[in-house]
Amino acid sequence: MPYKGFNTPTVSMKENISSRWRELHGSNHWENLLEPLDPSLRQEIIKYGEFSQAAYDSFDFDTYSKYCGSNYYRKDELFDKLHLTRHGYKITKYIYAMSDIVMPHWLETSLADSAWSKESNWMGYVAVSTDDESERLGRRDIVVAWRGTIAPAEWIQNVKVQLTPLGEGNVKVEQGFLSVYATKSKSSKYSKKSASQQVMKEIKKLVSFYEEKGEELSLTITGHSLGGALALLNAHEAAITFGNDVPVCAITFAGPRVGNIAFRDKLNKIAVKVLRVVNKTDMVPKIPGFGLMEAMTQNKLGRSIAQKLHWTYVHVGVELEVNISKSRFVKHEFDLVGFHSLEVYLHLVDGHYSSKSEFRKDAKRDPALINKSTDMLIDELKIPENWRQFSNKGLVYNEYGRWVEPTRVEDDLPSPTSVSSDEDLDQENQMN
């Protein structure tokens, strides 16, 4: 089946959504917007998904590189390099994290003395809408995009079923996810402050700056897989910090369950709006915990039982389920990694109209993107598998006639070396 869409635009015309931005941001839990899927909401979901995908596409996971675990690009060039300037946002801050889950076995070979960092990984970024985009959106939108891990199987096997307390009361979340979000080390160049402290400091700075200018604000947090879990933890902290002053929304893709019933109830109480995009055949959203236990929480008796069990996990928010079996572009074969791929998710969102309809014939997003890191596309499309790679695998020809790895400039250090004393660190922690 030849594909006839290669000479057509891959995106729709942008619409001015200033008059309805609150409902698109989840003020009414996306009621009447998902079935069928509202076209403007579809565009917004794909936009935020592409911000999350950028966190993968700019991440250096080449074990031959001394910069493995960092970002290929400076923050002022990332969107340009990844063809995302059309969205109208600028990156203001990079985020770094440290945890066993963020460092799977393929990263160990880079942890020599000459490595970029022995304990930290680049984990995402904060961005803000430009003046023109803010006018279209009807508000100044602050975005946090979190990266997931490269291979889902590598962190699935490390996910701990143990719930650990988050703040006061009975609110608990998965221990490994919280470790990624909250771990720090005084000896680390990039993680003297935790990912939580880094991101919240930047959000507070942006909120203060734009509030002083009298602008209306929103905070949208997005992530895929592990990044989806981090997005919920980030949304929880942000909503507690800003109260009703800044609407907080999380749009996640392939996100796992993160916490217990009390965590879900707390997010509802503090008005965090969550839209979870789930591929029906993806296994990651089904963990940790068991769907049967989650179903029990829908009635009073089951909820009472589930609350007493330390391993009861539940999802949060509203679910938008997409179905890979509807796409005419992908192979309908079992592919654990492919089912979980964010590019596959974005393809399915673009083609989704309703749960009962076929794949949209006027879907615009380029199917070739699916095969950037998979072999999911049907052979008739003639798109090579795993086609995305750097020219000469990243090596450059230097002035001496040698092929070498280019030097990168340190960008946006979250833990400046000038912060050296315990007193200075304590002062910074109090600000967060």
What amino acid positions are annotated as catalytic residues? Answer: 225, 282, 340
Q: Which contacts of 383-388 are long-range, i.e. CB under 8 A and separated by 24 or more positions? A: 388/57
Q: How far apart are CA 67 and CA 58, in angstroms?
A: 12
Distance CA 192, CA 317 (A): 33
| 3-state percent breakdown (helix, strand, coil) of the chain, nearest 5 | 35, 15, 45
Cβ atoms of residues 324 and 362 within 8 Å: no
Q: Where are the beta strands (DSSP E) in 244-394?
A: 248-253, 273-279, 318-322
CB count within 10 Å of CB 387 equals 13
Distance of CA 392 to the CA centre of its chain: 29
Query: Which residues have C-beta within 8 Å of that of residue 235, sequence separation ≥ 6?
Result: 219, 221, 248, 249, 250, 267, 272, 274
User: If DSSP codes are grouped into helix, strand and coil, which group holds residue 140?
Assistant: strand
Q: Say if CB 130 and CB 210 are below 8 A apart.
A: no
Cα dist from 147 to 144, 194, 315, whole Å: 10, 15, 20
From the list 342, 339, 371, 337, the residue with the least C-alpha distance to 152 is 337
Q: Residues near 16 by Cβ (< 8 Å), separated by ≥ 6?
A: 136
Identify the helix (H) or strand (E) that includes residue 47: helix 39-57
Query: What would the DSSP string read from start to end of 230-248?
Result: HHHHHHHHHHHHHTTSS-E
